[in-house]
Amino acid sequence: MVYIYSPCLNINENGHLTISGCDTTALAKQYGTPIYVISEEEVRRICRSYTESFQKYYNGNGRPIYASKAFNCKEMCRVVTSEGLDVEVVSGGELYTALQAGVSGGRIHFQGNNKSSKELELAIDNDVGDIVVDNFSELEKLNKIAGEKGAIANISLRVKPGIDAHTHEFIRTGQVDSKFGLDLESGEAFSAAKRALKMDNVKLIGLHCHIGSQIMEKEPFVHAAEVMLGLHHRIYKELEVELEQLNLGGGFGIHYLETDDFIPYHEYMQEVSAKISEVCAKYGIKLPRIYIEPGRSIVGEAGITLYTVGNIKEIPNVRNYVAIDGGMYENPRYALYQSDYTCLIANKANRPADYVATIAGKCCESGDLIQEHAHIQSPEEGDILAVLSTGAYNYSMASNYNRNPRPACIMVSQGESRVIIRGETYEDLVRNDL
Ligand SMILES: Cc1ncc(COP(=O)(O)O)c(C=O)c1O
Ligand SMILES: N[C@@H](CCCC[NH3+])C(=O)O
């Protein structure tokens, strides 16, 4: 049998996979396939465990921020903010979505390594509480735009702490050779702080770092906290400014396979908070307000994708291709990172997973695979295939490649389901064509 690791998943008396009490085969029938399904309960449970950790380890002096790039839509913004989280956005589009969902500007943190003037204006016009400045050019541009609008923008500085986390090279961001942020070691980040503190239309409120994504160990996070507090302290000592906040980013690993061995996030929280207290005591400085910015660990395991199995091509001594009605257009992660996934036949979930399959999409591309060497139940055309842990970076990275309409997204809770993003239609695909 396939190992079902998320608490929102189960197998019912018919041997069907369920999510938040909904039979996945019934969801596939009601809404069609492919579809993304997200468990609201699971998202809420994880949000709560983060907020409880903040209460426990920081006495509430800080807050988790949901990194909405993992999965951004209006309902998701509503769900996470109703649980007390702030929202991080990384583009004008994500910012607009959060605002449309009713998130107040003050609860939004705006990231991005190359924000346009238009995006910065949108942020200032909506009183975004924390614009995370990536580089000198952006700092000057923002000061000018804020000045023209008679505003003072609250900013943090995105710092590269020089930490090389062990994860896929495409999703590592804290090392010196990175397009993100201001370098710590060369003094670039300190110089940016000095410059910002002299500006009339920005207010420097904090520092930010993010070392990468799907990180399984806690040491790089603990190290990053220590290094960042070193800069915080240097700014205090040499520039006589005690910054209000420190954002240590996201990046906590989740299950994609049964064998994935990552540290549960409350353990990160415990060790990082202990290091922060120790370092602050050593420097004799006040504890800044602490933020973290998880995306994947909030929504990743809460989501699955459902497909209908199409043709099956068994090539003797080569491999078995099991074609599905989705592909790299709605989940490009295998094509990009050869990322692992657990797959199963949802209508045969209690049977042995003794068939080795390559799950192939329907795009015109040989690399359009969702998984290779997947151990699934013996498939037949018309079966429902479920791919687990697709809540993060699937819908948000989807495209219309081959003019495939992006699938709908369904939210489920306590046996009930509702559409939170409508599936695109062919008319949607030609809407902007002239
Ligand atoms: C600046 C920033 N914050 C937060 C995140 C969220 O990371 P994750 O989804 O791995 O928690 C990312 C993505 O890696 C990021 O670039
Ligand atoms: N999109 C990536 C991670 C990048 C995280 C955002 N900085 C993934 O699917 O794993």
Average pLDDT of span 140-146: 98
* Confidence check: pLDDT of 1 > 90: no
- The residues of the chain that CATH labels 3.20.20.10 are 40-299
CATH superfamily of 9-32+302-430: Lyase, Ornithine Decarboxylase; Chain A, domain 1 (2.40.37.10)
C-alpha span between 135 and 188 (Å, rounded) = 9
Binding residue numbers:
251, 293-296, 333, 337, 365, 393
pLDDT digits (tens, 9 = 90+) for 206-219: 999 999 999 999 99
Starting from the CA of residue 70, give the closest ligand: 1
- Confidence at residue 177, expressed as pLDDT on a 0 to 100 scale: 81
pLDDT digits (tens, 9 = 90+) for 112-129: 999 999 999 999 999 999
Q: How confident is the model at residue 168 (pLDDT cuts 50, 70, 90)?
A: low
pLDDT digits (tens, 9 = 90+) for 296-328: 999 999 999 999 999 999 999 999 999 999 999
pLDDT digits (tens, 9 = 90+) for 347-394: 999 999 999 999 999 999 999 999 999 999 999 999 999 999 999 999
> Distance from the CA of 308 to the center of ligand 2, in angstroms?
26
CB atoms inside a 10 Å sphere around CB 413 = 20
Q: How confident is the model at residue 48 (pLDDT cuts 50, 70, 90)?
A: very high
* Confidence check: pLDDT of 428 > 70: yes
Ligand 1 close to Cβ of residue 295 (< 6 A) = yes
Ligand 1 close to Cβ of residue 94 (< 6 A) = no
* Confidence check: pLDDT of 72 > 90: yes
C-alpha span between 224 and 194 (Å, rounded) = 21
CA angle (420 as vertex; 292, 328 as ends), nearest 5: 75
- The residues of the chain that CATH labels 2.40.37.10 are 9-32+302-430
Ligand 1 close to Cβ of residue 288 (< 6 A) = no
Does the annotation count 364 as an active-site position?
yes
* Confidence check: pLDDT of 169 > 70: no
Q: How confident is the model at residue 186 (pLDDT cuts 50, 70, 90)?
A: very high
Ligand 1 close to Cβ of residue 64 (< 6 A) = no
Mutate to test the pocket of ligand 2, among 91, 113, 160, 171 (most ligand atoms within 8 A of CB): 171
Query: Is the Cα dihedral 332, 335, 340, 346 positive or negative?
Result: positive
* Confidence check: pLDDT of 178 > 90: no
> Distance from the CA of 234 to the center of ligand 1, in angstroms?
26
- Confidence at residue 174, expressed as pLDDT on a 0 to 100 scale: 64
By percentage, how much of the chain surpasses pLDDT 70? Answer: 98
Nearest CA, atom 5, ligand 1: 250
| Phi and psi, residue 43, nearest 5° | -60, -45
* Whether 302 contacts 38, CB under 8 Å: yes
* Confidence check: pLDDT of 135 > 70: yes
Return the HEC string of 377-404.
Answer: CCCCCCCEEEEECCCCCCHHHCCCHHHC
pLDDT digits (tens, 9 = 90+) for 323-346: 999 999 999 999 999 999 999 999
Average pLDDT of span 269-288: 94
> Distance from the CA of 341 to the center of ligand 2, in angstroms?
15
C-alpha span between 369 and 365 (Å, rounded) = 9
Ligand 1 close to Cβ of residue 296 (< 6 A) = yes
* Confidence check: pLDDT of 234 > 70: yes
- Confidence at residue 153, expressed as pLDDT on a 0 to 100 scale: 98
Strand partners, 375: 356
**Domain 40-299, CATH:** 3.20.20.10
- Confidence at residue 173, expressed as pLDDT on a 0 to 100 scale: 65
Average pLDDT of span 249-267: 90
What ipTM score was computed for the predicted complex, to two decimals?
0.98
* Confidence check: pLDDT of 180 > 90: yes
pTM above 0.95, yes or no: yes
Starting from the CA of residue 212, give the closest ligand: 1
